[in-house]
Structure 1
């Protein structure tokens, strides 16, 4: 039986029920490999004595661990750590794109975008979070408060840089990412997408080549197309990120005029680049005098307690343009993002002024109040835990439902999975077949400028609240993939699906009073 060490007492004031805290302790030991599959969890009586809690608290914690799919109960014996079939899945192969730049001349993501509004379709493709997991009531209240207290500011024209109070609040937040910046260094934008657009517009001209990870976020491909830029896809590993050999070679040959990367929980691979590689990347950009546009939209969504640093944190020469937003953590509809343009700030501000003067003021006012109120970190802890649980469950169901040879990414943050199915599966056809059954996926080719790349891959969204629709949908996707293989003469057999004993985690709307630290 595994020994559970008591590192610190449970505390009712830590922001969670005691049974949740106890379950989190045990889950942490399982995640760290201290408790292995087959190990017996300490008995209910032992846990009761060790942590000084009631029997009912321990039983609730065990039930929660069962719901999370981490332990299983054996009659007259106790609880045991479950074998996690998802951990046996291999990660996707490193991409091997051509070393030639590609002119983008098509848009394959429009169908996926348009399907978002259809509520009859289960959106496993679009990486859209559920607004029910965001502090809507609190933000609504703060919008009303802003209209009452700062009505004139809310309604008048603002400068391209944005609301000063918001920029000050953002500077405090960026310290968690290792970035030291003042409010005058920040430019507020209509989401991170506009930040990336402004950065590209400032550092490139039509016909230039931009290096990106491969696969890469399809909206970035659309943005590059709109600016008449060519793409140089870089070989990318699902664990380490882009190949520095490929990037370094392209920089050495002066093939690229800019680089765009998501360094924390990339979309779609979910890669979080190590600090040592981020530091080396910053030095590489300085050495070759090429700008790096760093999109950090998911940086706050780590599955652990420590927020990942950024390449900007190691930028000594102002070659990194930092971009982010609160669309993935507070509200996608408010479209509040920001950037730190560095030495390109004057040019970026001129472009911003020509496009739309300034980002809407009201959202900035409300979010600045929310950040200064101290509730954001508590909200993030809940959101991170929720996404981690939903990602873990999705991995389990994919491992049980998809054909042998399927590989899946294992991110340490964010809310997307990259699924590589056996050769012979066409994810474009799979998308069309699944849509007819009310299931949307993001087929692999839309994440590359080349139509034949990643044909056997797809991206799955894990940001949706877990519901009774998701498990059978994943099972059906696996069946459709197997049917394709058989039609194509590939005799891959389906994984023999075992009933999952864990109950789905239901995403409850976060308590806004708890998020803001209010007790009444």
Structure 2
């Protein structure tokens, strides 16, 4: 019998066995260190006072003092008599003032980012683990889709020669989405729903409804690179919040950010976040909604992956706990039903009319035939059974991938263990630069998502995301093993110019 794979742990916090909780002062110090590293607090800027920190964190003055002393020992802050603590380390990213013109983030201007995007999908690739939409035909029922499309084309054939005058979308699809939202714990009326061209467009419309250029948007770190592109394109600024690979967004870190920064919106995927695959516990989702409601900061919630937790109570959306209309929920069925129909939807509460107006002004009318076909597919009784099969299928892929990683990647590699979804997040030895690994693999026709794509800072240089929504066969399995072999070679024979060190994690 083959030897069992070595034990793998989550990145960046090993959860294989419950670890003892850090002392409170260390937790506070880690949160402040993260905000310093991300540029939220700039060089020379005064940090919250010891007394204020003790009050907001619910700890004693002595505990807060210990946290600041730890930061001082790390060389991050310095104490000034009768003035408080100030950031000592110079920051890599300048944060513009509120009155300054929007400034492009450091990462989005880097050549490495453009290079990675250009190489993610090349014709003739041996294997691609860099995708973000499912491409494997064995995950979906092509025949059922063909029948639904044919029926919609016949019944609504005149729509192909007319403009779609329904700005919010076809009534049949809006009703179908409202019915499906019950599985997320949400009770919507069909009139609450606006149909969009994709979930990405839904998020974009929400950002336009609640922000203006120069505003600050808080989001998970690491985060989906599509979010960074949206924020960049709208002239907004990024504030990254530490995220646990198992339990998601750090609420203490978010609360501190809200207390110290002019955050105008929070964009997050509390369920199966991309790329970590983290899932916030239901109690944490409720606290997130309450925290933002108290401060009147809207939450834009992406639920595109929630249905991959079919049969799991954690599928429930944060929106289910929203009693004040402060959560804008966005979704699509491209990950679960058919990637070819990328239609999305949004239930934006009091911003519903603003969303519909922005959609109309952008000339982003959706296709009637596609809407009617999707409504047909969603209301077929077999959809929930399909979700359960898909969820089990993706879990099997995840387990097989983790087994390969355990046997072929360098010792010490840490990998996430999400309950479902189609991605894994890996942290390699800090001596391995994943952009260098990416270039070497791309030369052999193998691609993945380098960690630098998933942040607006220069963190995660030794991390990468693997996506398994494409074909899964002997060729792709061999390609995954090959990534690990190349990483091992890099560790044994490091390049002449070392990869810049990764920033200390908070």
The TM-score normalised by the length of structure 2 is: 0.77
What secondary structure does 1:301 align onto?
helix
What secondary structure does 1:180 align onto?
coil
Q: More deviation in 380-389 or 125-134?
A: 125-134
Whether 1:122 aligns to 2:127 is yes
Q: How far off its partner does 1:306 sit?
A: 4.7
For residue 485 of structure 1, the aligned residue among 477, 491, 502 is 491
- After superposition, residues 21-60 of structure 1 pair within 5 angstroms as none
Q: How far off its partner does 1:255 sit?
A: 2.5
Gaps in structure 1 of 5+ consecutive residues: 1-71, 73-81, 491-520
Q: 1:400 to 1:181 in 2, by over 3 A?
A: same
Q: How far off its partner does 1:135 sit?
A: 1.9
Q: Contact 1:326/1:337 (CA < 8 Å) preserved in 2?
A: yes
Q: Contact 1:112/1:440 (CA < 8 Å) preserved in 2?
A: no
Q: How far off its partner does 1:99 sit?
A: 4.7
> In the alignment, which residue of structure 1 is the partner of 2:8?
89
> In the alignment, which residue of structure 1 is the partner of 2:270?
263
Residue by residue over 1:85-138, the C-alpha shift from the partner in whole angstroms, topping out at 9 and shown as x without a partner, is 36x211111594635346544262564366425243311122331241212221
Residue by residue over 1:139-180, the C-alpha shift from the partner in whole angstroms, topping out at 9 and shown as x without a partner, is 121111112122234553232210000010111100000011
- C-alpha separation in 1, matches of 2:302 and 2:441: 31
Q: Contact 1:292/1:321 (CA < 8 Å) preserved in 2?
A: yes
For residue 420 of structure 2, the aligned residue among 413, 417, 423 is 413
What secondary structure does 2:307 align onto?
coil
Residue by residue over 1:13-62, the C-alpha shift from the partner in whole angstroms, topping out at 9 and shown as x without a partner, is xxxxxxxxxxxxxxxxxxxxxxxxxxxxxxxxxxxxxxxxxxxxxxxxxx
- C-alpha separation in 2, matches of 1:206 and 1:317: 26
- C-alpha separation in 1, matches of 2:486 and 2:323: 51
What secondary structure does 2:191 align onto?
helix
> In the alignment, which residue of structure 2 is the partner of 1:137?
143
What secondary structure does 1:393 align onto?
helix
Whether 1:181 aligns to 2:188 is yes
Q: How far off its partner does 1:466 sit?
A: 2.1
What secondary structure does 1:469 align onto?
helix
Q: Contact 1:185/1:342 (CA < 8 Å) preserved in 2?
A: yes
> In the alignment, which residue of structure 2 is the partner of 1:317?
324
What secondary structure does 2:345 align onto?
strand
Q: Contact 1:420/1:458 (CA < 8 Å) preserved in 2?
A: yes
Q: Contact 1:104/1:231 (CA < 8 Å) preserved in 2?
A: no
What value does the CA root-mean-square deviation take over the aligned residues? 2.1
- After superposition, residues 246-325 of structure 1 pair within 5 angstroms as 246-302=253-309, 305-306=312-313, 308-325=315-332
Gaps in structure 2 of 5+ consecutive residues: 14-29, 41-94, 96-102, 497-506
> In the alignment, which residue of structure 2 is the partner of 1:363?
370
The TM-score normalised by the length of structure 1 is: 0.75
> In the alignment, which residue of structure 2 is the partner of 1:100?
39
- C-alpha separation in 1, matches of 2:404 and 2:136: 24
- C-alpha separation in 1, matches of 2:187 and 2:115: 38
> In the alignment, which residue of structure 2 is the partner of 1:396?
403
> In the alignment, which residue of structure 2 is the partner of 1:343?
350
